[in-house]
Structures are given as C-alpha cells and as structure tokens.
Amino acid sequence: MKPYQVTAIITCFFPKEQDLARLVDSIKDQVSHLIIINNGGLEHTFIPASPASPSNEKLIILEPKANLGTAGGYNLGAKKAWDLGSTHILLLDQDSECHRNMVAELLELESYLISQGKAVAVVGPYYLCKSNNQVAPFIQHEGYRIRRIYETSPEVISFISENTPQSPKKFVSCSYLISSGSLISKASWMAIKETNEGLFLDFTDIEWGLRATHLNYECFGSFNAKMFHLIGDDQISVLGRKISLHSPLRHYYAFRNCVWLFQQDYVAFSTRVNYLVKLIPKLMIYSLFSNQPWKQIKFMLLGIFHGLLNKMGRYDG
C-alpha cells in the first residue's frame, strides 16, 4: 500500500479538449485517481486514452447540474476524493500542464516541512506562463510590501534530500498559491475548511491562503516542482510589467471578490490596502487596453458595487 494516495481534481468549463488531454496525460501516472468536474462544455465523448487503458480506471467525471465555478468544483471533487480514501488532493485548472515528478517533489517537500514542525496548509510548484514561457514568482506579503520571490531571491530556503543529496531542494514560504498545482493534505483541508463557494471564480486561492495564514498555517512554493499554466485571455506590457487581460465577466468577479475580501476581519489591514490600491489603476488599464472598454468599465464597477453589498455567488445577469 502506498503511503500517499493523491487524487487530482480538474475543474473545466468549455475546455479546449486537446489542452485538457495534455493535462490529463501529464498527471495521470502521478496520482491514484483523477476527477474531472464538468462545469459545462466537456463533450461526453472525451476519453484521454483508449478505453482499455489502465489510466481510465483512475478517471472519474462528475457532472453537476449547474456551473459550480472553480470553488464549488474543487469542493465537490474533494468530497469524492476523501470518499475514495485519498490522503491528498491536487487542484488543477484546465489550462495547466504538469511536469514529470511534480507530485513526488511536492510530497517530498511537504514531508520535510512537517518533519521541521511546520503547519503546512499547501505546497505548490513554480510555473511558467504558456503564452510567453516566463517564470511566475511566488508572492510574500510583508506589511505594505509585496515581495515577488524567484529561485535566485535571498528568501529562498534549501534542504538536502536523501534521494538527491548532490542537488539541494529549494522552496519558499509564501502568502498564498494559485489553485492550480496546489497539493493539500486531508488534515489541512479539514482544518482550514473548503474553498469559499460564494467567490465562485476569482480570489478563491488567495482567500483560502489568507484564511490558512490566519489559522497559523503556512503555504510553501517549490522550485523543484514545475508546471506550465496559462493566465488570462491575452497579455499586455505596461511600464515593463506583463499584465493579463480577461473578459469583462472575469473582471467582474475579480473586482467584486477583492472588495468583499477587504471586509473580512481575518485579512491583515496592510493586505487589504495592498489589494485595494491596485483597483483604480487596474480599472484604467483594463478599460484602455480592451477592445470593449465600456463593457469592461460596467462590469468592474458592478463588481465593486456587489462586493460592497456582499452579493456573492455566480453572476446571472
């Protein structure tokens, strides 16, 4: 019997099936089970491998009656994973692709951290953006300052692995991780509780990480576990910074959930300020560089209004 049983949970909504198939192919041999949450648009004929393939014995497709968003999808998948006897869940987005041994690297890091007395909320990989092959940093909040941590940053910590003593493993403590690639133990999930379904889509990972921090757990990023991921529908460069552009509806969720998060007492005041001061420049940038500026403005302002009113859940118009 394996010491760990990891179940991968993929939430999808009208996915590009070739991308989803690549994701499934990249992770299927690293996990015990693979759950796909079909929030809509996944063809019933989707089979990542031949029907006789052993990998399909791992595959479970759940089809909720309505779109649950990423938060509800992950929660539904987690319930199924625990019923299957899993020790961990691995959250994945349909636009991701996992490097070989990613799960093994994450499990090794978690084991080391626990041996050092750390209360581990989640461990996750560093990732490269599919659109430009650039490495995304891990994020640390330090008062009113936001640190972006790369592999060469001074905040990075190393430890010696018994499996590869000649190559130290590198990791960093961070304030949160993106959902995709997040490896979470059952014990941590039960202590911190599931993701907030009221957020539906955006900020679910940030909120969960900040809630974990409030409960004295820590999030950790690994520089030895690797993933490819796509963020946004498009990217633009503003003052040398790459900024992801999304649809007006996606920006509605981002602005609404950011404003809602500001009102939660478990979020540090400095963190609230850090996010809120970005709303005005983001509103301007998303409007100026969009091909539908008025629709963007409408949805972002509506998101702010609904966040203040605590009007959460799926937006139905």
CATH assignment at residue 220: 3.90.550.60
Q: Which of 184, 213, 229 is a domain's end point?
A: 229
CA angle in degrees (0–180, nearest 5) for 190-191-197: 65
Same domain as 70, residue 197: yes
Q: What is the pLDDT of residues 242-269, one digit of tens each?
A: 677 889 999 999 999 999 999 999 999 9
What burial class does residue 109 get, using C-beta atoms within 10 Å of its C-beta: 0-12 exposed, 13-18 middle, 19+ buried? Answer: buried
Same domain as 123, residue 13: yes
Say if residue 3's pLDDT is above 90: no
CA angle in degrees (0–180, nearest 5) for 8-26-244: 85
Looking at per-residue pLDDT, the higher value among 239 and 303 belongs to 303
Predicted local distance difference test score (pLDDT) of residue 26: 97
Are the beta carbons of 207 and 261 closer than 8 angstroms?
yes
In a domain? residue 250: yes
Mean pLDDT for 65-88 is: 98
Cα gap 302→308, rounded to integer Å: 10
Q: Which of 188, 207, 229 is a domain's end point?
A: 229
Q: Compute how many other C-beta atoms are within 10 angstroms of the C-beta atom of residue 32.
A: 17
Cα gap 238→27, rounded to integer Å: 35
Same domain as 277, residue 218: no
Q: In which domain, by residue range, is 14 found?
A: 6-229
Same domain as 59, residue 25: yes
Say if residue 8's pLDDT is above 70: yes
The neighbouring-strand residues paired with 157 are 171
Confidence of residue 6 (pLDDT cuts 50, 70, 90): very high
- Scan for tokens 């007492």, then name that residue: 265
> What is the total count of domains within the chain?
2
Same domain as 221, residue 240: no
Q: What is the pLDDT of residues 59-74, one digit of tens each?
A: 999 999 999 999 999 9
Same domain as 184, residue 267: no
Same domain as 178, residue 83: yes
Same domain as 249, residue 153: no
Q: For the CA atoms of 88, 93, 99, 100, what is the dihedral angle to 10 degrees?
A: 40
Min mean pLDDT across 62-66, 144-148, 231-235 is at 231-235
Are the beta carbons of 53 and 34 closer than 8 angstroms?
no
Same domain as 252, residue 215: no
Same domain as 270, residue 132: no
Same domain as 127, residue 174: yes
Q: Which of 180, 213, 229 is a domain's end point?
A: 229
Distances (CA, A) of 1 to 4, 5, 106, 108, 129: 9, 9, 19, 18, 36
Say if residue 157's pLDDT is above 70: yes
Please give the model's pTM, rounded to 2 decimal places. Answer: 0.94
